[in-house]
Structure 1
Amino acid sequence: MKNREQILETLTKILVEEFEIDEGDISLNASLYDELDLDSIDAVDLVIKLQQITGKKIHPETFKAVRTVDDVVSAIEALVTAE
């Protein structure tokens, strides 16, 4: 997972498989909480999944500001390129 497209692809797969979100609802501008109906527990589960995939520790502060799918992609991109 190196570029934004791959990160979005992986994130979409997780949202569809783990959270049963309709792939058609997932876009960069989609709000995780309002449009995709994630709650705080889902957000924690998502962070854990992303940590497993990236092999990186994701700090909770990083995800506090995350509101949209694009925010998640940007946060993961920053994480994986910070090597």
Structure 2
Amino acid sequence: MTKEVIIDKINDFLIDEFEVEADDIAPEANLKDTLELDSLDFVDLVVAVESNFGVKLVGEDFVNVKSLQDFYDLIENKLG
């Protein structure tokens, strides 16, 4: 799976499942602040990643994830 496909899938489920405005989605966007994701949303995000990519995420995976770009990279590394 290419990085572009990963980014497109993530952006699609952020828009569809988390009601994030498409204009707010940018690589430098902060997951908590800009996208307004709370702790419950992160649980839903883990479920969405598992169903869309077939990879499991745990809390430790998010330690260094601040921006959307960090999240893209995390998924790419998990798939790699």
**Shared topology, TM-score over 0.5?**
yes
Matches within 5 A, 1:1-83: 2-81=1-80
The ranges of structure 1 where at least 4 consecutive aligned residues each deviate by more than 4 angstroms after the TM superposition are: none
1:60 CA drift (Å): 1.9
Deviations 1:49-76 (CA, angstroms, capped at 9, x unpaired): 1011111222221123211110110000
What's the TM-score, normalizing by structure 1?
0.89
The aligned length equals 80
- Aligned equivalents of 2:35, 2:55: Cα separation in 1: 25
| 2:46/2:56 contact within 8 Å kept | no
Read off the aligned partner of 1:12 and give its amino acid letter: N
Read off the aligned partner of 1:10 and give its amino acid letter: K
Identity across aligned pairs (percent)? 35
Read off the aligned partner of 1:71 and give its amino acid letter: D
| 2:49/2:56 contact within 8 Å kept | no
Where in structure 1 are there 5+ consecutive unaligned residues? Answer: none
- Aligned equivalents of 2:38, 2:56: Cα separation in 1: 21
- RMSD value, Cα: 1.0
